[in-house]
Amino acid sequence: VQRLIISIIKMKLINFIVCCLAVLLITGPVTAGPIAAGVCYAGCAAVVVACFAAAGFTFGTVPGAQIAAVPALAGCNAAFGVCEAACVAALLTPTP
């Protein structure tokens, strides 16, 4: 009975390994996720630069305390954070 159980376990393990190898051989590599994330990050940066410019400031040169004090800049900064967080999905999503 023990030999039968061991034999069944070995067969299941071999079947599992064969299935894993088949999946790895059938699926192709996915490499465009980082490219999509880079495009997304660039888009976010372009929008936040335009937002800061519309408020009369230059993005990257304003201290954090001033950003928090000016409501328009705080809104730009918050939207930038949301946009950057959404780009993580582009990084992690398989893109052929």
Q: What is the pLDDT of residues 6-21, one digit of tens each?
A: 888 889 889 889 998 8
Under the banding of pLDDT at 50, 70 and 90, the label for residue 32 is confident
- Choice between 43 and 7, residue whose per-residue pLDDT is larger: 43
Are 21 and 66 contained in the same domain? no
Are 54 and 92 contained in the same domain? yes
In the chain, the number of structural domains is 2
Question: 27-36 long-range contacts, Cβ below 8 Å, gap at least 24?
Answer: 28/96, 30/94, 30/95, 30/96, 32/95, 32/96, 33/90, 33/91, 33/92, 33/93, 33/94, 33/95, 34/91, 35/95, 36/90, 36/91, 36/93, 36/95
Residues of the domain holding 8:
1-29
Are 43 and 67 contained in the same domain? yes
Are 95 and 63 contained in the same domain? yes
Are 41 and 23 contained in the same domain? no
The predicted model scores a pTM of 0.64
**Of all residues in the chain, what percent carry a pLDDT higher than 90?**
54
Are 51 and 78 contained in the same domain? yes
